Every structure is written in structure tokens, then in C-alpha cells.
Amino acid sequence: MGKNKGPRRPRAETPKGFRDYFGTEVSARKAMLDRIAAVYHRYGFDALETSAVETVEALGKFLPDVDRPNEGVFAWEEEGDWLALRYDLTAPLARVAAQYRNDLPTPYRRYAMGPVWRNEKPGPGRFRQFYQCDADTVGAANVAADAEICAMLADALEAVGIERGDYVIRVNNRKVLNGVMEVAGLAGDDKAAERGIVLRAIDKLDRLGVEGVRALLGEGRKDESGDFTKGAGLNEAQADVVMGFMAAGSETNPDTCARLRELVADAEIGVEGVDELEQIAALMEAQGYGPDRIIIDPSVVRGLGYYTGPVYEAELTFEIKDEKGRPRQFGSVAGGGRYDDLVKRFTGQAVPATGVSIGVDRLLAALAAKGRLDRAAQGPVVVTVMDRNRMADYMAMVGELRAAGIRAEMYLGNPKNFGNQLKYADKRASPIAIIQGEDEAAKGVVQVKDLILGAKIAAQATVEEWKSQPAQVEVPRADLLATVREMLGRHG
């Protein structure tokens, strides 16, 4: 008779496409978001925290390349209604703006930070849950709202440690793009598929180059693997219009706008878009945000279909090494634009809105590449346990340190092996260990062990240096707090 193996044990593994975040990662993200929030708050934006769950109807059909509203999201049916985890922070804002329109000020400035979920195929660096950090203005049709978002984004990047000269905010306008499409003969619902191919081709300029994009505007392109991508099927004259638009970027914002105006002179919507770009450039210049930080760039298209006016991206321009050691620029870490039709789905009335979303994980990776994140975050001071009968004394030491604002903990494992306690302190990246055995207690003293200095001495110090700066000192119990403060101050 077979042996009863009992119930199957669950596998201890993270679901595919998800990941866990530990202490230093969480702390680094919080510190970065706190700095960004301070900038947003300074600009007059209020925090908003919406539910992680929305109705599928409220989320709408705004996932990229998705035909059905419940595809691409984690959705389930409940009492006849379909609910889903939010896939971004913009769709919930549209619902909030409609639901509370009589209570909120107009315009309504808000920022939001939190996790979002995508039911998409995971891949390297592509997760189904990730953080977003958004800021939006709802109810302002004036492009001054777009200019304000761009200025705020520049300030936020500098606040977290991206220096001026290491980033640029690139601005374009979907109205100009629509004008180019009109001039190229691609206006109308029957040309929607061709327009989509053209927009995606423009968006790949930095990766495919001019010739690759030109091929996608025509019959199509075969990549290095031999796979063929069908093109938009434009003739030479139509392709020339699009390529001329992409090449319109000039040394100065006024020159770029002048060239764009020539290209879309026969399209009213395109001229309107150029007018808005000129206004944004002038408003930015007036605030001191020159072309060293914000430029007009025709190559910015943004992928989502709901953008209706100005669009913008924050690109980091410093070089990093790829997995093969080749230099490359870091690339985009934020993007957004104007989406005047999103709230209309709820109210039936056009409600102007504009906003930006920062890719939190990408910006954290950029700060790490610049050496702006402390990956070896300092752990707590550890009070070791030498005598089980004196736990109250050890806890009193911990309480004294915590009351003074110092991160501290008492060792809660088996105190029998003192070496294990120091190994624990090392694994916790503790800066200091407090030791008081029976002899020290009788004399009213404690041993304060500087673990950071001890590690340095063990790695590189000479005998003379070791004697001149001992890593462990004995001090009166009353001087414990002052000694710990002095040691912590020594290490910054």
C-alpha cells in the first residue's frame, strides 16, 4: 500500500512576472519619491491615492495595442460587474475628476504614486507589477499647464540627483503630427492603420535610424534575423513629407518651430500645434528653462492613442555601458502629454487635461548608474545579549538609543554563540555592536564596537593604524548614547 505523502507543499517562488523588493530597494525608492513629492507640492499639486481596483468600464480601452477592454489587465467578475487592477494612474484620475467634479477645484492639480498591474507577457526587465509616479492638471486648456508640467519635471529630476546637462525634456505636439499626416494624404478614418504604422516608425528613429524608418514608411523592413515588418505603403512624396518632419529639429526652438510651420502650412490643425509649441517654448524661456533643459523635438510621438496636443519625454543623456560593455545613452525615464478627451467618456463634456508619468524603476536604475544611490544602506545598531537574565537591561539600552532617534535593535536569536551575534550584525550591515557581559555590568561600563571601522582595519590597516584607532572602546554605561552618536557621526 502506498505511503500517504500528505498535502502538497506550495512552492516558495515569486509568480512569473512579479518580484520582491527588500529593505535598501524600498528605502531608496521611498527617498526618491519623497523628493519628487516635495517638488510637486511646491508647485501646488495635491496628493491623491485612488483604489487599486477599478471597474473595467472605467479603465476603458486605453492599453496599447489592445482591442478588448479586459485584455491586458487582471480582471474578474463580481456580482455581474467586471473589476480589474488598475493598469496606470491616469484612468483612475479621469474617473475621480468626473465623480467629484462638483467638489474639486478647477483646475485640479494632483500627483499620485503607487503600484500598477499589467496582464502582459513578462520578459527581462519587464514586470507585471511596477511603480508609477504621475502628476496631472485637469481643467486647464491653456498650454501654460503643459509648460508647468515640463518645468516641474525638470525640477524633479534635479531634485533626485540628475544634474543639469544629464537630461533634456523633449516636447512635440500631436496636432503637428496630425497636420503632417494631412499634408501627406493620410487623414481620415480609412487611413488609421497607415497612420499607426507611421507613428510607430517615427518612434523607432533612435533605434532604427533614418534608413530603417524610411523602409517602414514604404513597403516594409527586414531585420537582422530575417523577420519582415510590413510598412505603411507610402509613396516617395508622402514619405518625403514625413521624413522632412522628422528632420525639422534645429539648433534653437524658434528655428525648429519655423521649419515645422513651413511643413504644415496647408493644414490648419498643424499650424495650431506649432502655435502651441511656440507658446510653450516662450513660457519656458521666461522661467529660465532654456534649450539646455527643454527643447522642441519632432521625433517625440508617444505611443498611447489618447494624446491630443503637446507631448513630452524626459531623456537622460549621459552614457552607460550595456551588457556587452558598449557605451549607450540611458534613454527615456518619463513621458506624458495632453489628453483632452479622456474625462469626456464619463461626463460627455470635453475636459482638458495634461500630465506626466515617471518610470520609477528606470529612474532608480539611472540614479544607481550615476552612483547616487547608497546600495549599502546602514543597518541598525545591534545590542548583543550576553546574559539571558539581564534582558531588561539590554532592552533599556535599545530604548535609550531609539528615543534619541537612532535605529537600534536587540539580538533576539539564541545568544549562546556570541560569534553568531556578530555575524548577524554583519548581515544586517550594522554600524555598531553594543556588548555588556557580567564583568562589564559589575563595573558599570559597556563595550562599543565600531563595525565599520573594524572592517576597514581588517581589510587594509597597518598594525600602527590599528593601535591608533581601536575599533572597540569601553565607556561608562552613562556615556553609551554619546559614544554611539560620535561613532555614527564619524561615518556620516
Hey, how many other C-beta atoms are within 10 angstroms of the C-beta on 448?
A: 22
pLDDT less than 70: residues of the chain:
1-4, 61-71, 303-305, 321-325, 374-377, 459-469
C-beta separation of 384 from 435 below 8 A? yes
Give 415-459 pLDDT, tens digit per residue.
888 999 999 999 999 999 999 999 999 999 999 999 988 877 776
What CA–CA distance (Å, rounded) separates 413 from 419?
12
User: What pLDDT does 459 receive?
Assistant: 67
Contact 337, 362 (CB under 8 A): no
The mean pLDDT of the chain is 87
Q: Enter the CATH code of domain 381-490.
A: 3.40.50.800
Task: Return residue ranges of the chain for CATH 3.30.930.10.
Answer: 23-186+247-369
pLDDT at 66: 47
Quick one: how far is CA 240 from the chain centroid?
Answer: 37
Q: What is the CATH number of domain 23-186+247-369?
A: 3.30.930.10
How far is CA 372 from each of CA 22, 36, 319, 366, rounded to the nearest angstrom?
18, 15, 15, 9
- 251 — phi, psi (to 5°)? -65, -35
Q: What pLDDT was estimated at residue 303? A: 62
In the chain, % helix, strand, coil (3-state, to 5) comes to 40, 20, 35
Q: What is the structure's pLDDT at 4?
A: 66
Rounded CA-CA distance 223/47 in Å is: 45
Measured CA to CA in angstroms, residue 232 lies from 118, 173, 192, 248 at distances of 29, 21, 10, 21
Q: Are 332 and 315 in contact (CB under 8 A)?
A: yes
**Owner of C-alpha cell 519656458:** 284
Determine how β-strand 408-410 pairs with β-strand 353-359: unpaired
* Nearest C-alpha neighbor of 73 from the set 93, 52, 87, 53: 87
Domain with CATH 3.40.50.800 in the chain: 381-490
Axis-axis angle for helices 236-246, 174-183 (nearest 10): 160
